[in-house]
Amino acid sequence: MRKKLIFLVFVAMVTTSWAAPPPAPQGQGSYVVGPGDVLEISVWKEEALTKSAIVLPDGAIHFPLVGEIHAAGKTVNEIRDSIKEKIKTFVPDPVLSVEVKQVNSMIIFVLGRVNNPGKFVVNANTNVLQGIAMAGGLNPFAKRNDIKIIRQGGGKGGEKTQYFIFRYDDVADGDRLEKNIWLERGDIILVP
């Protein structure tokens, strides 16, 4: 039993290199901001225009002189350009920087027969095995080969809700590693 547990932990750690390649590394400029993220916004040589802003549940942030700006669903570069355009009337030729100081919107949910079900904030590319490991692993009553990943639609492509079947034993044995997909914001791992 202990050898199998050690093997499963090893597989969970290594599968990132065996599964489909991860998305290209994202820089600060290509990260898509979501509610709960903390942004640091500053205008060079304007101390009064330097502040942290939390993206509110409705997706908005507030910034001096500009007011409310919709940030959720936009990249850091898009937010910077939006603020820069609006602040030009008050600060000619502004040098503006926007950084993500804290990622809080990359949340996955692991529910059902795992040892520690709940909501988890992820700060790196995470696959299904890693998500299950975050929830303390499967409990003895889990239906290991009938795990579902639910991905909500309504994103930029207007896609519908998607369902993926995950057969834990296959992936743990090194088969069907392509099923160990990368999780996205809001994904639900449901372990019956």
Q: What is the pTM of this model?
A: 0.69
Q: Name beta bridge partners: 165.
A: 148
CATH of 38-102, one of 3.40.50.10490, 3.40.30.10, 3.30.230.30, 3.30.1950.10: 3.30.1950.10
Count of alpha carbons within 13 angstroms of residue 19, beta-carbon side? 24
In sequence order, the 6+-apart residues with CB closer than 8 A to the CB of 112 are 142, 190, 191, 192
Of 19-28, 82-91, 121-130, 155-164, where does mean pLDDT reach its minimum? 19-28
For 36-46, how does the pLDDT look when each residue is reduced to its tens digit (9 = 90+)? 999 999 999 88
Amino acid code (one letter) for 186: G
Residue 170 main-chain phi, psi, to 5 deg: -60, -50
Alpha carbon distance 92, 67 (integer Å):
18
**What number is the average pLDDT over the span 15-21?**
36
For 74-106, how does the pLDDT look when each residue is reduced to its tens digit (9 = 90+)? 999 999 999 999 999 899 899 999 999 999 999
* Residue extents of the structural domains in the chain: 38-102, 105-191
Q: Is 58 left (phi over 0), alpha (psi -120 to 50) or beta?
A: alpha
CATH number of 105-191: 3.10.560.10
Q: Are 80 and 28 in contact (CB under 8 A)?
A: no
Sign of CA dihedral 82, 85, 89, 90: positive
